A and B are shown apart, each in its own frame.
Chain A
Amino acid sequence: MNINATMFGQLISFAIFVWFCYRFVWPPLIDAIEARQKKIADGLADAQRAVKDLKLAKEKATDHLKDAKAEANKIVDQANKRKAQIIDEAKEQANREREKIIAQGKTEVEAERNRVQEELRAQLAELAVSGAEKILERSVDKDVSQSIVDKLVAELK
């Protein structure tokens, strides 16, 4: 076991190997590792941002939903109000129509009654005269009795 030239042989190969490793082996591998680390870090940051975005989007969606519900309620309320209004109007119109029809009927009935009264009065007068004529067959002063009958008839009114 003695120290000899082998030591320098080893020293030279050591130097060459370290230089080779430094120059050709190390850079591509460490670059790949660092690039991948960066990719992973970026990916994680993206994922975090995506989670935040998702949360925001959900909140927005909830807001939109709330707005839509409020809108719908408003529309339903308006519709209900309009419905009540239409019903009221219809009722009013119907009432007016009814009153008009009733009034018309009343005037017609009145007119008919007047006519019948008139007719009855005329017939009764005739009947009374003829009755009286038959009762008083003989010399009844037509003029006097007529005036009496007329008076009676007038009282019937």
Chain B
Amino acid sequence: MAADSVSGYIQHHLTNASMCMADGHIAFNHHCENAGFWTWHIDSLLFSVGLGALFLGVFYYVGQRATEGVPGKFQCFVEMLIEFADNAVRDAFHRSDRFIAPLGLTIFVWVFLMNLMDLVPVDWLPQLFHLMGAEYFKIVPTTDLNITFGMSLGVFILIVFYSIKVKGAKGFAKELTLNPFNHWAFIPFNFLLESVTLLAKPFSLALRLFGNLYAGELIFILIAALVPMWFQWTLSVPWAIFHILVIVLQAFIFMMLTIVYLALAHEDH
């Protein structure tokens, strides 16, 4: 493969399908280059919402048929996940909110499913969508910064919400301005430090998930682009097996950090 086509192939696999309004009607991909902020990555959104809906649909189905008696195997599996999230929250919180555990469960399963798309061979679905007329298609939503930032922004809003709910607006303001140096002269300095601490949370959440998955996806793409077809499996299979660990771990970390950040937001200094 020539170097140009290799970089073209990689570039192609790293481009989202985008949609925007241009000149008063809906436009796609290249026509959106100048659309700026109001561009939608429809592939990321389609898969993220699709997987989230699938997860919630299945869990809702199981929940409606849940029995207190001897549960079926699938109910057992769902209950394991529920208890897993519930225990994670119970371990981190002194006084638990009934809202945090479902939040953790949603994050864990949803992020896991989105990460799981990484294990689908890199050319299958893009090729399929290509046949259906889509020029670009990225099927792993978590390799899109918008998706990870969308979620971490949600977590950030919850952090601020719980900080104010637990400590009051005054308490939260005090926490931001009178820590770590409790003196009025240090208020600007404190505020700078604490703002960085606060803002670092959503950034680290989003970038960690994005970085891990993007790198993983890139390796798969490189293997697909540079290694001869008949030899690819010797590299992609071990990487995929290793990646199973990464996708679960990243989903778990996202959930755990969310819970920990919210637990910290509940704490009074």
Residues of A within 8 A of B (CB): 1-11, 13-15, 17-18, 20-22, 24-33, 35-36, 39
Contact = CB atoms under 8 A, between A and B. Distances in A.
Given A28-B64, A32-B67, A39-B68, A10 B102 contact: no
B246 interface: no
Contact of B40 (A2, A6, A27): A6
B39 A29 contact: no
A6 B66 contact: no
B154 A9 contact: no
Interface of B: 14, 16, 18, 36-41, 44-45, 48-49, 52-53, 56, 59-60, 62-64, 66-69, 71, 75, 78-79, 82-83, 86, 98-99, 101-103, 105-107, 110, 141, 144-147, 149-151, 153-154
Contacts of B66: 28-29, 31-32
A25 B59 contact: yes
List 5 tightest A-B contacts by C-beta distance, closest first.
A10-B150, A6-B146, A26-B102, A32-B66, A28-B63
B156 to A, nearest CB: 10
B110 A17 contact: yes
A8 B150 contact: yes
A94 B98 CA distance: 101
A13 B49 contact: yes
Contacts of A25: 56, 59-60, 63, 102, 105
B143 to A, nearest CB: 9
Given A5-B40, A6-B44, A6-B45, A33 B79 contact: yes
A30 B82 contact: yes
